[in-house]
Chain A
Amino acid sequence: MRLLLKHIFRNINENKIRGFLIIFSLAISSFVLYINFVTKDEIVDQYESLMTDIFNGYEINVVSESVDASIEKDVINKIKEHDLVTDTIPIHSEFCAYIDEDSMTAQLYSTDLKKLNDAELIETNIQELKAEEIVISHSFSSEYDYEKGDTLELVTNEGVSTYKIVDVANNYGLFTEFENVNTFVTKEKSLAETNLLLVQAKENDIGDLLTEFKEEYDDDDLAVVSAVDRTYMESNVFMLEQALIIVLIITALLNILIISSNAKAILISRRSSMGTFRSLGATSGQIAFVLSLENIIYGAIGGAAGVVLIVFGKNILMSFILQGVLGINKSANVALEPLYLLITVIFAVVVQIISVVPQIRKMANEPIKGLILGYARQEKSRFILKTVLGIALLVISLFLWNINTFYSLVYAILALLSAIAGGMLILPLITYCLSFFIEKIGQFISKVFKLATKNICTSESTANNIRLSALSITLVLLLVITTLSIQNIFSNISKYLDADYQIYGITQKEKEYDDLADVKGVKDISFASQIWDEFKVNGEKYNFILASFDKEELGVVNEIGDISKLKSGEAMIDSFYAVSMGVEIGDFLTIENTDFKSKSNKIEVKIVGTLDTKSYTAQRNVLVITPEQFKKEVRDYPSVIYVYCDQNANYEQVKRDLYTELTGENVVVQSVDDYFAHQEQSIVSIISILWVFLGLAVFVAIIGIVNNQIINFVQRKREFAVLNSIAMSKSQISLMVFFEVAISFFIGVMSGLVLSLWASKLMEKLMESLGLFVEFTFKWETIIILLLILFALLLLTALIPIRKIFNMKIINEIKYE
């Protein structure tokens, strides 16, 4: 046994470069797995600790549900007097808009600054604020370039007012930088105007108090919430988690592909000693054992390298993720979980074993004579089997795509995976067909080119090059197309929304706002009524948009039926959402929500038609009722006012005038462009995280390709040497190799392109199944430029064998037996 181990370790030592590459790709897989394990917990933990820091023990927030309402005095007193409550801070909180900076809104707290300071919720030297004095945060000051002594123009309930900045407080407590929310503090108002009460209690008591207060005070007017709400974040990271799992699967599959082609080369070099072992009486089981042991060791080393990578890389990557998800600049501190680490190492071993098992089985069962004499292995050509299987898988993916009208996620994933697997399997066929043509063309180019095409169909390494390049191109393009298309969501929606400003935070009836149309520069206004909330439908909870329309607008389009003919008590539902909700035309729905105007908090509707709302919201979770019913039973005021400006209006001035007109209301006027920019930003940050991971996966693929070039050279050294000694110059051989590589990458890139187009189609379905309607478009210029760049990069890897050819010592290679 010791002797075998010695043998194995020496083998590993002899294959340093290949072994290193295997270990490296395993390490990356392990790393991705570990990140998968810890991401959710880390984000939620960080969120929790962040919120704990921000609220510094004042974790229970009592908030009045509507902005102009306030918390009754005796409630405040009762809470203050409660045995377990150690302190309370009454605040008047409102949203304010910052007039020069379109998208900027902030939380304006009017409260006793000294009390905040004492409670360590803020860090400032100012003891007392006068009216119209304000404290801003350090991050706001640096981002928008404001200093102590400057003035700041803000739009609040009372209209536009000018505040004097008396201090820039550290990013601490309530001023902690988080999700790009800005907070300002100004002079306190009367206790009667309190609409936010921060309640402090001892840590152990918080849970009990929260339940008690919830029961006692949580009603239509008041909400009792915990500032540190894990479940909120947990549901927020759900999408990210899904994405990470997909990345993990892709990385692992890539690894298996790369390692198996690598392992093939390593195992082939092991044939003669295995032949000797066999002639000395080793059973095929023993051969399999020795080879497996070797690969288990590879796997374990790879896993260990992964652990090293985890130890040093986890916090760096996680900080990046935190920045993307929470918008905080905080260095992560991911725990090292021994159990997860163990699973990670086991995972590396399993990936390695899965990758090599087919090879090991082949070798263990090979005829001994061939092994001993070193015959080239008679590869049973699986060409036909692979092609048939590949076509079958492609047909299956088409079939799954076709029948998946009910947005099943499982079907969508299976379709995508079988398309990619099928595409990989028919590569030999494509190679065969393409190289036939290339050879025909090649005749006119040069003899060397013709020689190169001869090797394309037969060479194992070419097949590997094609496979790896096709797969990486497919993945990169799929991601690029998806990313570019996601941005379509907004351009698509903005196509239907040609308003210039939208006003939200509205609390009064439509007719109160008719005057807005008279503001100078305003051409027209329109109202939209919608609520996005959790509703109970026939007793079950759903999260969707309840909207009212009297015609097709804002991207809501009829499918079956006509919105303009809708009667009170009738409803139309998005056809996709109907499927996922299990609702059909003719069904009666009872929809409940505590905010409904109707006494019963219920409305009843009959579904009479379906809609396509993908241009209204990418999630298509829309139910439309008539404006009359909406006003009567749901809510009698609109949720958004759209403002359309004259073409030559002074937009900035329009905004000021709108605010002036709206004085006394807690509304926000936001430019529509800015709104979309904001929405896009939030998705882009998630996508950028995906990019990092897929970057890692593609990196692994590139390693595989580089590695393949090295193996290719090592295996063909003798062939090159012989060619050089009898006929060709080194530069001719290099040219031949270059042509070979170029042709194989050309085939790979073209196949990858085609496959990625089909895969995008499937991805579209997959995202629909996740509830995200993205119309995929292909920006050809971008795609072609990207392909050219990638192709050039791939060609660069041909330099590896070419350099080696020039450095080759011919005599050594021929002499060597």
Chain B
Amino acid sequence: MNTVIKVSNLHKTFKNGETEVHVLKGLDFNVEAGEFISIMGPSGCGKSTLLYLLGGLDYPTKGQIFINGEDLNKKKDRELSHMRRSDIGFVFQFYNLVHNLSVYENIALPLVMGGVSTSSFKNRIYEILDIVGLSDKKDNLPSQLSGGQQQRVAIARAVIVNPSIILADEPVGNLDSKNGQDVMKLFYEINQRYKISIVQVTHDPDMALYGSRLIRIKDGIIEKTEDIESRIIL
């Protein structure tokens, strides 16, 4: 198995004028290809911060992150953008769909950023629409969908470029448990089917069980890493 994410001695400090918040105080962990990791921890411990760092949306104060063997510190903004549109998919708590584009168009958006013609990806978009179960809603606008459906669009959008990693920050935090289960099942299926590594942050222990490994963070360090024995297998 090869390592898709390697984090070593990761520190993050926020400065707000005089006060400094030392959020991450030296994290070390790896994510192997095809793994499905759940991250848990108390509110404010730095889970979201960690995900943004992994996605190159923010910069570490100290330490290194390797994505597929490449050091993010050494990448320029342009290269980070390239990485985000080919290698990493994001799923946020609040879906972050473009409100005036249809479901189909939202899913196609990362392709447009990469400058590829969407028509050659038509079949793939249909395939993914089918997987997320929204084939009949492809021309709807986000405002015409339920929260769960919107999150499934966001997942489809993350999957479309066939990344090696999907980073999800409380993807079901906003959904009821039924819809939450459905979305988690979708993640599971994607993880199995496309062998995309998934790192999800969650507050819900039940949702964490869809992963293969759990990382607990507390006070800016990794408190515990454990393989999930009672993993839900579908």
Highest count of chain A CB atoms <10 Å: which of B99, B105, B109, B114: B109
Decide: A280 and B97 in contact? CB cutoff 8 A. Answer: no
Give A293 Cβ to nearest chain B Cβ, in Å.
13
Q: Report which of B52, B96, B101, B157 forms a contact with A369, defined as CB distance below 8 A.
A: B52
Decide: A6 and B101 in contact? CB cutoff 8 A. Answer: yes
The 10 A-B pairs at the shortest CB distance, nearest first, are namely A281-B85, A281-B84, A10-B100, A283-B81, A280-B110, A368-B57, A276-B96, A282-B113, A273-B98, A279-B90
The 15 sampled A-B contact pairs (Cβ below 8 Å) are: A3-B112, A6-B101, A10-B100, A11-B100, A273-B99, A276-B97, A278-B81, A280-B157, A281-B84, A281-B110, A281-B161, A283-B78, A283-B81, A367-B58, A372-B92
B118 interface contact, C-beta 8 A: yes
B71 interface contact, C-beta 8 A: no
Interface residues of A in 353-411 (CB under 8 A from B): 367-369, 372
A428 interface contact, C-beta 8 A: no
Highest count of chain A CB atoms <10 Å: which of B83, B98, B99, B118: B98
Residues of A within 8 A of B58 (CB): 367-369
**Bound-complex Cα distance A11 to B52 (A):** 28
Q: Report which of A273, A281, A372 forms a contact with B86, defined as CB distance below 8 A.
A: A281
Residues of A within 8 A of B112 (CB): 1, 3-4
B→A interface (CB under 8 Å): 52, 55, 57-58, 77-78, 81-86, 90, 92, 94, 96-101, 105, 108-110, 112-114, 118, 157, 161
Q: Which residue of A lies closest to B117 (CB)?
A: A1
A→B interface (CB under 8 Å): 1, 3-4, 6-7, 10-11, 14, 272-273, 275-286, 367-369, 372, 817
Give A406 Cβ to nearest chain B Cβ, in Å.
52
A14-B100 contact, Cβ under 8 Å, with A280-B109, A368-B57: yes
Highest count of chain B CB atoms <10 Å: which of A3, A7, A279, A369: A279
Q: Report which of A10, A282, A284, A817 forms a contact with B85, defined as CB distance below 8 A.
A: A282
Give B76 Cβ to nearest chain A Cβ, in Å.
10
Q: Which residue of A lies closest to B86 (CB)?
A: A281
Decide: A279 and B99 in contact? CB cutoff 8 A. Answer: no
A281-B83 contact, Cβ under 8 Å, with A4-B112, A369-B57: yes
A284-B77 contact, Cβ under 8 Å, with A276-B97, A279-B96: yes
Q: Report which of A3, A6, A275 forms a contact with B96, defined as CB distance below 8 A.
A: A275
**Bound-complex Cα distance A6 to B108 (A):** 13
Decide: B114 and A281 in contact? CB cutoff 8 A. Answer: yes
**Bound-complex Cα distance A282 to B112 (A):** 9
Residues of B within 8 A of A278 (CB): 57, 81, 84
Known: A3-B109, A10-B101, A283-B77. 18 other contacts (CB 8 A): A1-B112, A3-B112, A4-B112, A10-B100, A11-B100, A272-B96, A276-B96, A279-B55, A279-B57, A279-B90, A280-B157, A281-B81, A281-B85, A281-B161, A367-B58, A369-B57, A372-B57, A817-B94
Residues of A within 8 A of B99 (CB): 273
Q: Report which of A3, A276, A277 forms a contact with B105, defined as CB distance below 8 A.
A: A3
Decide: A7 and B100 in contact? CB cutoff 8 A. Answer: yes
A6-B81 contact, Cβ under 8 Å, with A280-B157, A367-B58: no
Decide: A281 and B82 in contact? CB cutoff 8 A. Answer: yes
Give B97 Cβ to nearest chain A Cβ, in Å.
7
Q: Which residue of A lies closest to B112 (CB)?
A: A3
Residues of A within 8 A of B90 (CB): 279-280
**Bound-complex Cα distance A629 to B189 (A):** 111
Residues of B within 8 A of A283 (CB): 77-78, 81-82
Q: Which residue of A lies closest to B76 (CB)?
A: A283
Q: Report which of B52, B101, B157 forms a contact with A3, defined as CB distance below 8 A.
A: B101
Q: Report which of A11, A286, A368, A369 forms a contact with B113, defined as CB distance below 8 A.
A: A286
Decide: B100 and A280 in contact? CB cutoff 8 A. Answer: no
A interface majority secondary structure = helix
Q: Which residue of A lies closest to B167 (CB)?
A: A279
Q: Which residue of A lies closest to B96 (CB)?
A: A276
**Bound-complex Cα distance A535 to B224 (A):** 100
Residues of A within 8 A of B92 (CB): 279, 372
Decide: B57 and A282 in contact? CB cutoff 8 A. Answer: no
Q: Which residue of A lies closest to B52 (CB)?
A: A369
**Bound-complex Cα distance A284 to B77 (A):** 8
**Bound-complex Cα distance A277 to B90 (A):** 11
**Bound-complex Cα distance A276 to B95 (A):** 10
Decide: B85 and A3 in contact? CB cutoff 8 A. Answer: no
Residues of B within 8 A of A284 (CB): 77, 81
Give A6 Cβ to nearest chain B Cβ, in Å.
7
Give B51 Cβ to nearest chain A Cβ, in Å.
10
**Bound-complex Cα distance A11 to B81 (A):** 24
**Bound-complex Cα distance A10 to B100 (A):** 7
Q: Which residue of A lies closest to B160 (CB)?
A: A280
Q: Which residue of B lies closest to A9 (CB)?
A: B100
**Bound-complex Cα distance A11 to B100 (A):** 8
Residues of B within 8 A of A279 (CB): 55, 57, 84, 90, 92, 96
Decide: B81 and A282 in contact? CB cutoff 8 A. Answer: yes
Residues of B within 8 A of A11 (CB): 100
Residues of B within 8 A of A282 (CB): 81, 85, 113
Highest count of chain A CB atoms <10 Å: which of B96, B101, B110, B157: B96
Highest count of chain A CB atoms <10 Å: which of B81, B110, B113: B81
**Bound-complex Cα distance A776 to B108 (A):** 66
Q: Which residue of B lies closest to A277 (CB)?
A: B113
Residues of A within 8 A of B96 (CB): 272, 275-276, 279, 372
**Bound-complex Cα distance A1 to B96 (A):** 21
**Bound-complex Cα distance A262 to B114 (A):** 31
**Bound-complex Cα distance A283 to B112 (A):** 12
Give B83 Cβ to nearest chain A Cβ, in Å.
7
Q: Which residue of A lies closest to B158 (CB)?
A: A280
Residues of A within 8 A of B118 (CB): 3
Give A285 Cβ to nearest chain B Cβ, in Å.
8
Give A361 Cβ to nearest chain B Cβ, in Å.
14
**Bound-complex Cα distance A6 to B99 (A):** 12
**Bound-complex Cα distance A285 to B78 (A):** 9
Give A268 Cβ to nearest chain B Cβ, in Å.
15
Residues of A within 8 A of B82 (CB): 281, 283
Give B173 Cβ to nearest chain A Cβ, in Å.
14
Decide: A281 and B108 in contact? CB cutoff 8 A. Answer: no
Residues of B within 8 A of A367 (CB): 57-58
**Bound-complex Cα distance A811 to B90 (A):** 32
Residues of B within 8 A of A272 (CB): 96
**Bound-complex Cα distance A11 to B98 (A):** 11
Residues of B within 8 A of A372 (CB): 57, 92, 96
**Bound-complex Cα distance A3 to B101 (A):** 8
Highest count of chain B CB atoms <10 Å: which of A3, A273, A282, A817: A3
Decide: A6 and B55 in contact? CB cutoff 8 A. Answer: no
Residues of B within 8 A of A275 (CB): 96
**Bound-complex Cα distance A1 to B118 (A):** 9
Q: Report which of B57, B94, B109 forms a contact with A277, defined as CB distance below 8 A.
A: B109
Q: Which residue of A lies closest to B55 (CB)?
A: A279
Decide: B113 and A280 in contact? CB cutoff 8 A. Answer: yes
Q: Which residue of B lies closest to A374 (CB)?
A: B94
Residues of B within 8 A of A286 (CB): 81, 113
**Bound-complex Cα distance A280 to B82 (A):** 9
Q: Which residue of A lies closest to B109 (CB)?
A: A280
Residues of A within 8 A of B108 (CB): 3
Residues of A within 8 A of B98 (CB): 7, 273, 276-277
Q: Which residue of B lies closest to A372 (CB)?
A: B96
Q: Which residue of A lies closest to B99 (CB)?
A: A273
Residues of B within 8 A of A277 (CB): 98, 109, 113
Give B126 Cβ to nearest chain A Cβ, in Å.
16
Residues of B within 8 A of A368 (CB): 57-58
